[in-house]
Chains A and B, each alone.
Chain A
């Protein structure tokens, strides 16, 4: 009897705890969603309303999206952003996978030292690299067969070597059991076949995380593209958004319409990779 009562008490406590957890989570969801709702809501207002304190539009101005698209010249910038992102992602994944594999599974002199030096560069703020990187790409453009400034190499190549991606993949690759490599060797596989046919299929989750994070980083980048481009030919979509910001302020309704257009591809990518992304974060303990 006493045990039943204890069990009842435990259940009651557990239910209360669950309710408390859900309330906290619900608050978290609301806090996370408010900026998105505000963005969509403001994007449907007229300028006067958007400048004020109203949270919801009195009248829906869907034409803001067409206006934003036209005025920011998104057609050209969208294509540029897609190309820049694709080239960067392919390059970054290729170099990160190869480097991470070498650090994780190959023995060579100075391996740990090189890896430590690479990791230490993560401590330096990215802004510090801006001028040295700019000088490097300018110099490479002068000596190379194609110009780098105002062209895709300056926009993509500096980001193909990502220390974070190498570090993350190295941690995953190092966890692959040695027995698998031994078995693969017996079957006549070398490092490359082992990497492509065994390690990579097992590492879908971290690859997806890198894909999503790099996609977001490249898609949203603004300062570097502005620095290395002089004409709209290779400028990304974030530059289009800037056209609504003037000396006196910004056309906040059009900026928000443009912002929603800009983040759509990120939402789509996240929607398709959500499972692997969550799985990888849970496994690695990484937090956004």
Chain B
């Protein structure tokens, strides 16, 4: 009996070992094509609707490819974005599955990607500011989208490319020509303008030149000076010396951050001097002032005619005007230059693809393409309050524009840009330096002092480029 049990045990163990060692996979593939062959022949014989469906199932080109997408949206926009992701997963003909993850704010995403680059735990698509994407591209952690955008089967047509606002292609392209950041939506630093109050002061419509802007701001300051009390010293343009605001006016004055060749930073230009002197002169005349915190309440109370804000700040302005029981007509305008050039400082919510296998990269691009297509973008704009990135999207939002007249004032502005040169080397560090220098410029008392500060800024910026290269 014992011997029998022992033999039985050996047989069982051997069976298990042999079954474990047996090449399971080998027979299956040889069998499968044999089954498939007649199926392929069938549709040729009879043209029935049932047989037409079969090939579709087989041809999903990226079947089973999963794409992890890190974004920054929570609450209602997060829910809307998740809805779009779900819709893509259900409807895309490629068999791609996208998993969306809200990773906090932009700074959290930056921290996580920086850590992930070290550990290898990275998503496939990431939403970030362009300068972050450019930094990651410099360490081979962001893919160049050019081959995917130009792909004859899955890329964009010439018409689709031309539909993008002109400044956006440059905004996402590095100096060496790699397209690393694809725009999902836009916001912009704009001037928030009280049309009703300006009209009462004798100024019809938005100012068209820098001089007109100065005139209306000074008129508002004078009017509040007359009222006195809390209103004394208020009224004109609320200006914080920051990189965003200074660059905004610089663009209107025809300036930019790079030299004519686009090969190095150059802030020591006549446009930069004129920009700074324009603001400082207005400050000297009492037409520019500062509030302790966000200037929304002051604008609602008619203590500020013009403030500078991101278009994303719209709900806060609405709340401020409502709280002050102020029915004035107000909206977004661009900063005007001396010769009537209009500019905003446009920011894009960019999407980047992380290097991976060719299939995953292509699947990632196909998701990005779908998410930024005009129809989907229009739906996302309605939910998020951001602005679109292409002309066709505007046409799909006619009813939304009518329902949201203040938001509508920003649509034309989002198209004019420009955007900061975020893909140029060391831009993050240079921008921080401009932030520090902006206060110095604001306090400069003479043109010579301004020139000296701008010269130092140019030198520092180019030194920073050398450091990163």
Per the bound structure, the CA–CA distance linking A50 and B319 in Å amounts to: 10
Question: From residue A121, how far is it (CB to closest CB) to chain B in Å?
Answer: 20
- Does the CB pair A46–B105 fall under 8 Å? no
Instruction: Kindly state whether residue A48 has any CB partner on chain B within 8 Å.
Output: yes
- Does the CB pair A134–B300 fall under 8 Å? no
Binary CB contact string for chain A from 230 to 254 against chain B (1 if under 8 A, 0 otherwise):
1110000001001101111100000
Contact A71/B312 with A48-B300, A226-B111, A227-B115 known, Cβ cut-off 8 Å: no
Contact A243/B320 with A131-B118, A227-B115, A230-B101 known, Cβ cut-off 8 Å: no
Instruction: Kindly state whether residue B377 has any CB partner on chain A within 8 Å.
Output: no
The interface residues of chain B lying within 8 Å CB-to-CB of A139 are 119
The interface residues of chain B lying within 8 Å CB-to-CB of A130 are 115
Instruction: Kindly state whether residue A52 has any CB partner on chain B within 8 Å.
Output: yes
Question: From residue B76, how far is it (CB to closest CB) to chain A in Å?
Answer: 9
- Does the CB pair B294–A51 fall under 8 Å? yes
Instruction: Kindly state whether residue A66 has any CB partner on chain B within 8 Å.
Output: no
Instruction: Kindly state whether residue A279 has any CB partner on chain B within 8 Å.
Output: no
Instruction: Kindly state whether residue A221 has any CB partner on chain B within 8 Å.
Output: no
The interface residues of chain B lying within 8 Å CB-to-CB of A245 are 105
Instruction: Kindly state whether residue B112 has any CB partner on chain A within 8 Å.
Output: yes
Per the bound structure, the CA–CA distance linking A283 and B21 in Å amounts to: 69
Instruction: Kindly state whether residue A116 has any CB partner on chain B within 8 Å.
Output: no
Per the bound structure, the CA–CA distance linking A134 and B117 in Å amounts to: 11
Per the bound structure, the CA–CA distance linking A232 and B319 in Å amounts to: 30
Closest A residue, CB atoms, query B298: A52
Q: Which residues in window 96-132 of B have CB below 8 A to A?
A: 101-105, 108, 111-112, 114-115, 118-121
- Does the CB pair A247–B312 fall under 8 Å? yes
Instruction: Kindly state whether residue B436 has any CB partner on chain A within 8 Å.
Output: no
- Does the CB pair A226–B112 fall under 8 Å? yes
Closest B residue, CB atoms, query A134: B115
Instruction: Kindly state whether residue B324 has any CB partner on chain A within 8 Å.
Output: yes
Instruction: Kindly state whether residue B37 has any CB partner on chain A within 8 Å.
Output: no
Closest A residue, CB atoms, query B119: A138
The interface residues of chain B lying within 8 Å CB-to-CB of A249 are 294, 313, 316
Contact A52/B115 with A231-B101, A248-B309 known, Cβ cut-off 8 Å: no
Per the bound structure, the CA–CA distance linking A128 and B91 in Å amounts to: 45
Q: How large is the interface on B (under 10, 10 to 19, 20 to 34, 35 or more residues)?
A: 35 or more
Contact A135/B319 with A248-B309, A248-B312 known, Cβ cut-off 8 Å: no
- Does the CB pair A48–B323 fall under 8 Å? yes
- Does the CB pair A48–B297 fall under 8 Å? yes
- Does the CB pair A48–B319 fall under 8 Å? yes
* B74, B102, B112, B120, most chain A CB atoms within 10 A: B74
Other-chain residue from A46, A71, A226, A242 in contact with B319 (beta carbon distance below 8 A): A46
- Does the CB pair B104–A242 fall under 8 Å? yes
Instruction: Kindly state whether residue B310 has any CB partner on chain A within 8 Å.
Output: yes
Contact A226/B103 with A48-B319, A48-B320, A131-B115 known, Cβ cut-off 8 Å: yes
Contact A134/B119 with A248-B312, A248-B316 known, Cβ cut-off 8 Å: yes
- Does the CB pair B297–A52 fall under 8 Å? yes
Q: Which residues in window 195-252 of B have CB below 8 A to A?
A: none
Contact A51/B296 with A247-B310, A248-B309 known, Cβ cut-off 8 Å: yes
Instruction: Kindly state whether residue A47 has any CB partner on chain B within 8 Å.
Output: yes
The interface residues of chain A lying within 8 Å CB-to-CB of B103 are 226, 230
The interface residues of chain B lying within 8 Å CB-to-CB of A135 are 115, 118-119
The interface residues of chain B lying within 8 Å CB-to-CB of A207 are none
The interface residues of chain B lying within 8 Å CB-to-CB of A230 are 70, 101, 103
- Does the CB pair A246–B111 fall under 8 Å? no
- Does the CB pair A227–B312 fall under 8 Å? no
- Does the CB pair B119–A51 fall under 8 Å? no
Per the bound structure, the CA–CA distance linking A48 and B323 in Å amounts to: 5
Instruction: Kindly state whether residue A257 has any CB partner on chain B within 8 Å.
Output: no
The interface residues of chain B lying within 8 Å CB-to-CB of A138 are 119-121
Instruction: Kindly state whether residue A211 has any CB partner on chain B within 8 Å.
Output: no
Closest A residue, CB atoms, query B291: A53
Per the bound structure, the CA–CA distance linking A47 and B292 in Å amounts to: 17
Per the bound structure, the CA–CA distance linking A227 and B105 in Å amounts to: 12
Per the bound structure, the CA–CA distance linking A194 and B101 in Å amounts to: 50
- Does the CB pair B75–A51 fall under 8 Å? no
- Does the CB pair B294–A48 fall under 8 Å? no
Instruction: Kindly state whether residue A76 has any CB partner on chain B within 8 Å.
Output: no
Closest A residue, CB atoms, query B309: A248
Per the bound structure, the CA–CA distance linking A245 and B74 in Å amounts to: 10
Closest A residue, CB atoms, query B108: A226
The interface residues of chain B lying within 8 Å CB-to-CB of A256 are none
22 intermolecular pairs with C-beta atoms under 8 Å apart: A47-B319, A48-B297, A49-B323, A51-B297, A51-B320, A51-B323, A52-B320, A53-B292, A130-B115, A131-B115, A134-B119, A135-B119, A138-B119, A226-B112, A230-B103, A231-B101, A243-B74, A247-B187, A247-B312, A248-B310, A248-B313, A248-B314
Q: Which 6 A-B pairs have the closest CB atoms?
A: A48-B323, A248-B313, A248-B312, A52-B297, A138-B119, A47-B319
Known: A52-B320, A135-B119, A242-B104. 4 other contacts (CB 8 A): A48-B300, A134-B118, A243-B75, A248-B312
